[in-house]
Structure 1
Amino acid sequence: MPSLKEVKTKITGVKKTSQITKAMNMVAAAKLRGAQEKMEAFRPYTSKFNDAMSNLSGGANSDAFPLMENRDVKKVELVVITSDRGLCGSYNANIVKRVEKMVAGYEAEGKEVSLVCVGKKGFQLLRKTGKVRKNYNDIMANFQMFNAREIATDLAEKFLAGESDKVEIVFGEFKSVAVQSPVAVPFLPVQPVESDGEDEKKLSGDYIYEPSSEEIMDTLQPLYLNVIIYHAMLEVGASEHAARMTAMDNATNACKDIVSNLTVIYNKARQAAVTNELMDIVGGAEALK
């Protein structure tokens, strides 16, 4: 049985750890509110952009737009968006597992796969594969639209140059504070956005665009790519704080359980020490008789 001093030192250390995890939980909760508000405010913009692209691209000739070119897929590029910081449970690990599963599936089909990592944690976990073409570190803490534009421009240039035939984005989608699921979203080639049946019923007649729909598509397509990347980054930003808040809450509860167990051990050790002292006293008294 450990000594009283050892157990007491452990209890003090676990209590200090509990204070740290509780503080990190509060910080994550405060950051989550801001990130969630930003994400929810951007979702209507993304939805309207999808509606516009749906109406424009529905009858467009894909051969006229290089970014909509469907060709035989031999090279696939996956954009992996994770956080820059850890201590958020299995959030980043789940995204990487999804990527590894997709890579194995594509390679089994004979396709060549390359990776673009956005976020330090994804790069740290995937660089051992040797498939990382480019990585963007230290931008997820305070990303802006120009970061999304830089990433989208690089991906589009590689697609137009024939260095990739298909591009997908893999990230953790924010569903609730308790649930953040990894998803894969098609990025290139740009596909016509399909409308729901209810939306089709609301549309009546054709729209006349000025300038032509082709000219508008030329302008909207790059912006559309920026919006997709930025929306994914917003989802990851909110998901990261939610996952960290949950992880720190679990860690705080675990610390309380450890302190409780150590307290029992401490009491047993103290009782054993008291018992030994009493036995020594009684033994000494008996020896004097």
Structure 2
Amino acid sequence: MAGIKEIRTKIKSVQNTRKITKAMEMVAASKMRKAQERMRAGRPYATKVYEMASHMMEANPEYTHPFLIERTGLKAVGIVVVSTDKGLCGGLNTNIMRLVLNRMREFNDKNIKTQFTALGNKGLGVLTRIDANVVSQEIGLGDKPELDRLVGAIKVQLDDYLAGRVDAVYIATNRFINTMKQEATFTRLLPLPGKLVDPYQASSADNEEKESVTAEHGWDYLYEPDAQTVIDELLQRYVEGLVYQCVAENMASEQSARMVAMKAASDNAKKVIGDLQLVYNKTRQAAITKEISEIVGGAAAV
């Protein structure tokens, strides 16, 4: 059995660790609320851009943007991987990277080349270790997503898609469900569906209602400089808005997962401290009993 001094040292060490995890839990809880507010604040923007793009596509059926053209016989795809910059957030990054690697394996089995854009340090680290083709990256995003920093990395994939070097672009991220649940998702970013689908509607019934409303109206716009230029710019903003929202959702998921993970660590540390205290008391009691026995034995010998 370990000595009293060693057990006391272990108890002190675990207590210090618990102080750290408790502080990190409180910090993550504070950041989580702000991240969720930013995530929810970004959804109306994405919804409004969706509405404008849908109306303009209805008003100009003769023009089809390259983002809307389906391509057959995929030869190469681009994958945008959204991860965190820091760890200690449970299995958040593990789940998303496992999903990405499974999809990558499926593409390789079909002789489809893959190229990656890494948004976040953890995802970049995994992609670098497996020697994946990383064409762009952006790390150190902080606690608040900035569209200006994301556009440069995403533009590489968009330009490759327009140039025909990739036939589809996918994005892998964690979608925020609630504080206790975050879902790893792998969705197609490009080409966009023929009828743009708003990913932030509450249910399919809402989508059907919105489509019926759109069909009942005839949209007529005056364009400056022309319809094609406006639609091109609007769809570009639409795709960028989707990526921004994915990053915001991932950041909200990160803080929620970190808060839950640190709470679990604090609870486990408390349990370990209790177990060590019990061992410490038993060891101390055994030592005292031994000393008393030695004193009594010595006195009897005299």
Q: State the TM-score, normalizing by the size of structure 1.
A: 0.93
CA RMSD of aligned residues (A): 1.8
Task: Kindly state the Cα deviation for residue 59 of structure 1 after the two structures are TM-superposed.
Answer: 7.0
- The aligned amino acid for 2:271 is D
Deviations 1:239-267, CA, capped at 9 Å, x for gaps: 11111111110000010000000011101
Contact 1:69 1:189 in 2 (8 A): yes
Written as runs of structure 1 = structure 2, the 5 A alignment for 1:93-132 is 93-132=94-133
Aligned to 2:278: 264
- The aligned amino acid for 2:275 is N
Residue range with higher mean Cα deviation, 31-40 or 6-15? 31-40
Task: Kindly state the Cα deviation for residue 209 of structure 1 after the two structures are TM-superposed.
Answer: 1.8
Written as runs of structure 1 = structure 2, the 5 A alignment for 1:1-289 is 1-57=1-57, 64-72=64-72, 73-133=74-134, 134-192=136-194, 193-194=196-197, 196-203=207-214, 204-211=216-223, 213-288=227-302
C-alpha separation in 2, matches of 1:136 and 1:252: 32
Q: Secondary structure at 1:175's aligned position in 2?
A: strand
Deviations 1:175-200, CA, capped at 9 Å, x for gaps: 11111111122111233314722223
C-alpha separation in 2, matches of 1:22 and 1:62: 60
In structure 1, the gaps of 5 or more residues are none
- The aligned amino acid for 1:198 is E
Q: State the TM-score, normalizing by the size of structure 2.
A: 0.90
- Count of paired positions: 288
C-alpha separation in 2, matches of 1:127 and 1:185: 22
C-alpha separation in 1, matches of 2:18 and 2:29: 16
In structure 2, the gaps of 5 or more residues are 199-206
Task: Kindly state the Cα deviation for residue 284 of structure 1 after the two structures are TM-superposed.
Answer: 0.8
Q: Secondary structure at 2:87's aligned position in 1?
A: coil
C-alpha separation in 2, matches of 1:67 and 1:286: 97
Contact 2:174 2:183 in 1 (8 A): yes
Contact 2:89 2:257 in 1 (8 A): yes
C-alpha separation in 1, matches of 2:76 and 2:60: 26
Q: Secondary structure at 2:159's aligned position in 1?
A: helix
C-alpha separation in 1, matches of 2:240 and 2:142: 15
Q: Secondary structure at 1:78's aligned position in 2?
A: strand
C-alpha separation in 2, matches of 1:140 and 1:171: 16
- The aligned amino acid for 2:208 is G
Given the superposition, is the C-alpha separation of residues 198 and 61 from structure 1 closer, same or farther in structure 2, using an over 3 Å criterion?
Answer: closer
C-alpha separation in 2, matches of 1:121 and 1:253: 26
Residue range with higher mean Cα deviation, 199-208 or 22-31? 199-208
Contact 2:35 2:144 in 1 (8 A): no
Deviations 1:155-174, CA, capped at 9 Å, x for gaps: 11111222211100100111
- The aligned amino acid for 1:151 is A
